[in-house]
Amino acid sequence: MKNIVILISGSGSNMQAIVEAARVQRWAEKQGAQVVAVFSNRPDATGLAWARTQGLAAQSLDHKAFDSREAFDHALMQAIDAFDPALVVLAGFMRILTPGFVAHYAGRMVNIHPSLLPAFAGLNTHARAIEAGCKFAGATVHEVTAELDHGAILAQAVVPVLPDDTPEVLAARVLTQEHRIYPQAIAEKIAALRSR
Ligand code: NHR
Ligand code: GAR
């Protein structure tokens, strides 16, 4: 069985979309894959409670309790590896990961970023897209590499930017599309890992 571990920092709506797709599409039976655990760097992430209702292991590792990024990443890596992951999924995970952590999961870690990469890597993507006068925005699923938001693109979705959009309204429109493309891209990635 290919184990999937999901990292979140907040509400975890993408995590929820992935867990629900796995159930509805019978990934365990058809793909030999299962979501096994969820980790958050924020103890107050509301997604953790939902994950527990699904019978998933759900744990927080507060990055503020560690002296350095390396120390946090080392602890997170050990916690993740206890679940023997085939794929690590960043779903609204808000901590930049160190090169050592990224190298350890090379080729088996993906992220969803709320912009049409390579435009608007980094934070505050929706405000920046509106400010730039973009007519379209979207989301990108990509491989995680040491360089932030620069790994190979696996999937994208496009939405219009409408005249009166606020960052919040645009974010909600993009998020709906994230919930569609992220589970799909993960299913394709799992299939690719299986046929290697
Ligand atoms: N780590 C690496 N090495 N490479 C990537 O591509 C990564 C990554 C870690 C997270 C998600 C990313 C996004 O989709 C992601 C991709 C957090 C920040 C950030 O600046 C930037 C990009 C992403 C996630 N974080 C601040 C930090 O100091 C903290 C911000 C906060 O806590 O609100 O880590 O956009
Ligand atoms: C999503 O829009 C995701 O693309 C974005 O945060 C939201 C998380 O929502 N990710 C980042 O901005 C990463 N820096 P969720 O917790 O409900 O899935």
Number of domains in the chain: 1
Is any ligand 2 atom within 6 A of the Cβ of residue 10?
yes
Residue 80's pLDDT is what? 98
Copy the structure tokens of residue 73: 């990443």
Q: Determine the Cα–Cα distance for residues 64 and 71; give it in Å rounded to an integer.
A: 11
Report the CATH number at residue 34. 3.40.50.170
Q: Is 146 helix (H, G, I), strand (E, B) or coil?
A: coil
Smallest Cα–Cα separation from 116: which of 153, 167, 61, 70?
153
Q: Is the peptide bond before 118 cis (omega within 30 degrees of 0)?
A: yes
Quote the percentage of the chain above a pLDDT of 70. 100
Q: Which domain holds residue 36?
A: 2-194
Is any ligand 2 atom within 6 A of the Cβ of residue 8?
yes
Determine the atom of ligand 2 nearest the C-alpha atom of 12.
Answer: 16
Whether pTM > 0.85 for this model: the answer is yes
Residue 61's pLDDT is what? 98
Residue 196 pLDDT > 90: no
What residues are in contact with ligand 1 under a 6 Å CB criterion? Answer: 90, 93-97, 102, 111, 113, 122-123, 144, 146, 148-149, 151
Q: What is the pLDDT of residues 3-33, one digit of tens each?
A: 999 999 999 999 999 999 999 999 999 999 9
Q: What is the pLDDT of residues 119-165, one digit of tens each?
A: 999 999 999 999 999 999 999 999 999 999 999 999 999 999 999 99
Is any ligand 2 atom within 6 A of the Cβ of residue 92?
yes
